[in-house]
Structure 1
Amino acid sequence: MSKGNVVAWITHALILLIILPVVFTCAGHARLASITAGVNNAFAINDNGAVWGWGRNYYGQIGNGAFSEKCGPGSVLIDNVTMITTNGGASYALKSDGTVWAWGYGESGWLGDGGFEDQCVPVQVKNLTNVKAIAAGSQNCYALKNDGTVWAWGDNRDGQCGDGTTMGDGTIGVSQYGRASPVRYRGLEGVEYFITGCDQGVVADKNDGTMWALETNKRVDKITYGTVTDPSAYGFIKICGINWTQEQAHYVALKGDGTVWTWGAYVGRRGAFDKSGLDKAVEESPTRVEGLDHVVDVAAAHLTNYALKEDGTVWGWGRNDAGELGSGYRTVEPYPVLVFKGPTPTGTPTPTPTSTPTPTPAITQPSATPASTPTPAPGFELAAALLAGLAITTLITKLRKTGR
Structure 2
Amino acid sequence: MNFSKRLFLVLSLSLFFGSFSIFSSVTHAAVTVTPKLAAGGDSFSLALKSDGTVWAWGDNASGKLGDGTTAEKLTPNQVPSLNNVIDIAAGSNHSMALKSDGTVWAWGSNQYGQLGDGTKVNKKTPTQIPSLNSVISIAASGSNSYALKSDGTLWVWGTGSNKTGLGTATGNNTVPVRVHNVTNIVKFAVGYGHASATSQDGTIWMWGDGANGQIGDGAMEHRPEPVIIDFPNAAMVEPGSIATLGLKTDGTVWNWGACLASEIVECSSSSIKVPTQKAGIDNVSFVSSNGGRAAVIKNDGTLWAFGNNTSGYLGIGQQTNNSSYKTPHQVVTSDLVTPLTGVKSVEVGQSHSLAIKNDGTVWSWGRNAEGQLGTGDKTRAYYAVQVVGLTLFDQDQISLGDTVNVEIAQGSSKKYTFKAQNSGVVTFTTGFYQNMADTTLNLYDSNNNLLSTNDDYNNTTYSQISYNVVAGSTYIIEVMGYQNSALQCTLSIQ
Q: What's the TM-score once normalised by structure 1's chain length?
A: 0.69
Aligned letter for 2:377? Y
State whether structure 2 residue 61 is matched by structure 1 residue 68. no
Paired positions, count? 317
Give the Cα separation in 1 of the matches to 2:307 and 2:122. 33
Q: Is the 8 A contact 1:266 1:303 kept in 2?
A: no
Secondary structure of the corresponding residue to residue 59 of structure 1: helix
Report the CA distance shift for 1:45/1:231 in structure 2 as closer, same or farther (over 3 A).
farther
Give the Cα separation in 2 of the matches to 1:277 and 1:320. 16
Q: Is the 8 A contact 2:46 2:90 kept in 1?
A: no
State whether structure 2 residue 37 is matched by structure 1 residue 35. yes
The aligned residue for residue 101 of structure 2 is 97
Task: Note the C-alpha offset of 1:30.
Answer: 10
State whether structure 2 residue 59 is matched by structure 1 residue 56. yes
Secondary structure of the corresponding residue to residue 79 of structure 1: coil
Q: What's the TM-score once normalised by structure 2's chain length?
A: 0.57
Deviations 1:277-299 (A, max 9, x none): 82353312211113311111111
Task: Note the C-alpha offset of 1:33.
Answer: 2.4
Q: Is the 8 A contact 2:141 2:190 kept in 1?
A: no
Aligned letter for 1:108? Y
1:152-191 → structure 2 map (5 Å cutoff): 152-156=156-160, 158-164=161-167, 166-167=169-170, 177-191=171-185
Give the Cα separation in 2 of the matches to 1:89 and 1:221. 34
Secondary structure of the corresponding residue to residue 390 of structure 2: coil
The aligned residue for residue 361 of structure 1 is none
Secondary structure of the corresponding residue to residue 72 of structure 1: strand
Report the CA distance shift for 1:119/1:30 in structure 2 as closer, same or farther (over 3 A).
same
The aligned residue for residue 189 of structure 2 is 195
Task: Note the C-alpha offset of 1:372.
Answer: 7.8
Correspondence for 1:109 among 109, 113, 124: 113
Task: Note the C-alpha offset of 1:70.
Answer: 1.6
Query: 297-306 or 208-217, which moves further after superposition?
Result: 208-217
Task: Note the C-alpha offset of 1:317.
Answer: 1.2
Deviations 1:145-199 (A, max 9, x none): 111111111111x2444445634xxxxxxxxx211111122222121211346x8
Gaps of 5+ in 2: 1-27, 209-223, 232-236, 238-243, 246-263, 267-275, 333-338, 397-431, 444-452, 455-462, 469-494
Report the CA distance shift for 1:110/1:200 in structure 2 as closer, same or farther (over 3 A).
closer
Q: Is the 8 A contact 2:296 2:303 kept in 1?
A: yes
Give the Cα separation in 2 of the matches to 1:63 and 1:43. 10
Deviations 1:89-115 (A, max 9, x none): 111111111111111110110100111
Give the Cα separation in 2 of the matches to 1:253 and 1:317. 15
State whether structure 2 residue 333 is matched by structure 1 residue 285. no
Q: Is the 8 A contact 1:254 1:297 kept in 2?
A: yes
Give the Cα separation in 1 of the matches to 2:304 and 2:277. 15
Give the Cα separation in 2 of the matches to 1:317 and 1:288. 13
Task: Note the C-alpha offset of 1:374.
Answer: 6.6
The aligned residue for residue 413 of structure 2 is none
Higher relative contact order (CA 8 A, sep 6+): 1
Q: Structure 1 residue runs of 4+, over 4 Å off?
A: 29-32, 343-347, 384-387
Report the CA distance shift for 1:187/1:287 in structure 2 as closer, same or farther (over 3 A).
same
State whether structure 2 residue 381 is matched by structure 1 residue 333. yes
Task: Note the C-alpha offset of 1:390.
Answer: 4.2
Q: Is the 8 A contact 2:300 2:342 kept in 1?
A: yes
Q: Is the 8 A contact 1:267 1:304 kept in 2?
A: no
Give the Cα separation in 1 of the matches to 2:342 and 2:308. 24
Report the CA distance shift for 1:346/1:76 in structure 2 as closer, same or farther (over 3 A).
farther
Q: Is the 8 A contact 1:304 1:316 kept in 2?
A: yes
Report the CA distance shift for 1:95/1:30 in structure 2 as closer, same or farther (over 3 A).
closer
State whether structure 2 residue 123 is matched by structure 1 residue 119. yes
Calculate percent identity across the aligned residue pairs.
Answer: 32
1:340-359 → structure 2 map (5 Å cutoff): 340-342=388-390
Secondary structure of the corresponding residue to residue 66 of structure 2: coil
Q: Is the 8 A contact 1:37 1:301 kept in 2?
A: yes
Give the Cα separation in 2 of the matches to 1:118 and 1:48. 28
The aligned residue for residue 300 of structure 1 is 348
The aligned residue for residue 388 of structure 1 is 465
Secondary structure of the corresponding residue to residue 293 of structure 1: coil
Quick check: which one's strand share is greater? 2
Secondary structure of the corresponding residue to residue 465 of structure 2: helix
Q: Is the 8 A contact 2:344 2:357 kept in 1?
A: yes
Secondary structure of the corresponding residue to residue 279 of structure 1: coil
Quick check: which one's helix share is greater? 1
Correspondence for 1:253 among 296, 299, 312: 296
Task: Note the C-alpha offset of 1:338.
Answer: 1.4
Give the Cα separation in 1 of the matches to 2:395 and 2:357. 21
Q: CA RMSD in A?
A: 3.6
Q: Is the 8 A contact 1:102 1:123 kept in 2?
A: yes
The aligned residue for residue 205 of structure 2 is 212
Q: Is the 8 A contact 2:265 2:278 kept in 1?
A: no
